[in-house]
Chain A
Amino acid sequence: MKNRVEELRKERGISQYEFARAIRVSRQTVSSIENGKYNPSLELAFVIAEYFGMRIEEIFLWERGINHE
C-alpha cells in the first residue's frame, strides 16, 4: 500500500530510528512500511496517524486490490 510516511517523516526532520522509537517498532519495520513492502496493522496505522496528527486516509493511500474485487 502506498503511503506518505517517508514524506511526512522527512518534513519533520526525524530519522527512521527516532520515528521507530516514537511509535515503538523496529527501524526495519519503518523502512518496510515506507517502501510499501509491509502494511501496518490497524492499530499501528492509528498510532502513526496520531503521531503525525493526521487521519489514516491522509497517510495511507488505499487502492482496491485483486483480492477485494
Chain B
Amino acid sequence: MSKRRLIDGICCIAIAVIALLLSFHPDVQMTARLTSLASSYIVIGGMTLIRYFYYNSPKYREFYKEKLEYEEIEQRDERQIRIREKAGWYTYQFGLEVIVIALIGSVILEAFGIIESSDTAAGILGGFLILQIIAELVILRYLSKKY
C-alpha cells in the first residue's frame, strides 16, 4: 500500500484531534458538530492506518498485490465496461422518463389545487430535461466524430 494512505490516515487523525480540542474550548459553540466530526475522522483515519499496516505486513503484502491486480483487471475488463455503459444508458433513459413524469405530475397537482404553483418545479425540471437532451446530442456527435 502506498505511503499516501499513511499520510491520509495521519491527516484524518490530526483533523479529528484538532476538532476535538476545539470542541473543548469554552468560546466555541458548535460542540456537538465538532465532536461528531472528530469521531467520523477518527474512524476513517483509524481504518486507513489499520489497513495500511495490515497490507504492508510481510504476511499480506503479496495478497494485497494480487488484490490490486485483480481490481485493475476488473476495472478494465471489456465485458464489465460494456455492462457499465449499457447500465448508464438505461439509467439515463429512466432518468429522462422520471423527469417527464414529475413535470406532468406537478402540472396535474396544480390543476387539482393540491399544490399552489408548479412554475418553479416545472421550470427547473423542464430546464434540466432540455439540458440532458442537448448534452446527449453533443456527446453523441463528439463520439461519432472521434470513432
Contact = CB atoms under 8 A, between A and B. Distances in A.
A40 B78 CA distance: 8
Nearest to B69: A21
Interface residues of B, number: 7
Interface string B7-35: 00000000000000000000000000000
Nearest to A29: B79
Grouping DSSP codes into helix (H, G, I), strand (E, B) and loop, the B interface class, with mixed when no group exceeds half, is helix
A47 to B, nearest CB: 11
Contact of B78 (A20, A21, A25): A25
Nearest to A31: B79
B116 interface: no
Interface in B38-76: 73-74, 76
B36 interface: no
A29 B76 CA distance: 12
Interface string A33-62: 000001011001000000000000000000
Interface of A: 20-21, 24-26, 28-29, 32, 38, 40-41, 44
Closest 5 CB pairs of A and B: A29-B79, A26-B77, A25-B77, A26-B74, A38-B79
Given A29-B78, A41-B78, 10 more contacts: A20-B73, A25-B73, A25-B78, A26-B74, A26-B77, A26-B79, A28-B79, A29-B79, A40-B78, A44-B78
